[in-house]
Structures are given as structure tokens and as C-alpha cells.
Amino acid sequence: MSSEGTVYVDATDQIAGRLSSKVAKLILSGKRVVVVNAEKALISGSRVSVINQWKERLELSSRVNPIYGPIHPRRPDNILRRMVRGMVPRKKPKGATAMKRLRVYIGVPSAVEATKFTKFDDTSAPRPVPVYVTMGDLSKSLGWNE
């Protein structure tokens, strides 16, 4: 993978939705994006309410046969990839090629350990300190086995 035009992003302690929107903009602009530490990304809300909301989404399936139904990701890297996919016009050629430029990893792969990572800081307005759940904790409660 060439480092020209590649952005390496560390998802540690970053809100997953905001991170996903910035990553979506980058891949749509033509840059390759590598996201590491997907399990350390944050979802805002109390642990109980976030986990209950995600479990309700898992109950949605096809009326005909569950094999046809929506397949819900349970691993942190797949959840984050799916969040980015929702912000990209994936059914159009532009969006399909953009999604090929995205790589999401659990932890830090040995091939990219020596690179400098980007952190997107959104400190535009002071906010009260809310409660967060890490993507790894959410995934474990949904049935992900490390």
C-alpha cells in the first residue's frame, strides 16, 4: 500500500459517528484511509441503553427466511465499516470505488505501527461530559468473541 495519499486514523477515544463522517469525506475525495483500533471508538450513551438499542436492531430480520434478512455486523471493524458505508453513496460507482479505499482494523497491524496517526478533534463547542461505551464492549455484548 502506497503512503502517498493515504491517511492513517487512530479511532481511540473518538466518537464513532463523527469519525465515520470524516472518513467518508476523505474516501470520497480520493484518499485511501486506514483506521486502526476500531474497538476503542466510542458510542455516546449509557451502556445499558446503547446495548439495548443495538440488540433491538439485531432482532430485525426477513419475514420469509432469516437467511435473506439484513445481516448485522458484530465485530467492531465491521460495525465501523458499516457506519461509513451508510454515509457513502455505495450503489453508485463513485461510492463503490470509495469503499474500496477504506481499511478498518482491530488493533494496530504490524505493517502500519511505525506510521503517524491522525486524530480528528472536534473541540468546536464545549459540551458536558457524557457517558460513552466503547465499540469493543458493545461488540462483546452482541456476541463477538475476540
Please tell me the predicted confidence (pLDDT) of residue 81: 96
Identity of the residue numbered 43? I
- Structural domain that includes position 72: 6-142
**Do the domain assignments include residue 26?**
yes
Q: How many domains, the chain?
A: 1
Q: Using the predicted structure, report yes or no on whether residue 119 has a pLDDT greater than 90.
A: no
pLDDT of residue 66: 72
Beta strands in the chain (DSSP E): 6-10, 32-36, 42-44, 102-104, 132-134
pLDDT of residue 129: 63
| pLDDT band, residue 136 (cuts 50/70/90) | very high
Q: Cell digits for 7?
A: 491517511
What's the mean per-residue pLDDT of the chain? 88
Sign of the dihedral through C-alpha 75, 142, 86, 76? negative
pLDDT-derived band at 128, boundaries 50, 70, 90: low
Pick the closest to residue 82 from 145, 138, 8 (CA basis). Answer: 138
Q: Which of 80, 91, 98 is nearest to 28 (CA)?
A: 98
Residue 1 pLDDT level (bands cut at 50, 70, 90): very low
Q: What angle do CA 109, 39, 144 make, to 5 degrees?
A: 105
Q: Is residue 1 part of a domain?
A: no
Q: Tens digits of per-residue pLDDT, 85-110?
A: 999 999 999 999 999 999 999 999 99
Tens-digit pLDDT profile for residues 11-39: 998 999 999 999 999 999 999 999 999 99
The β-bridge partners of 136 are none
CATH of the domain at 47: 3.90.1180.10
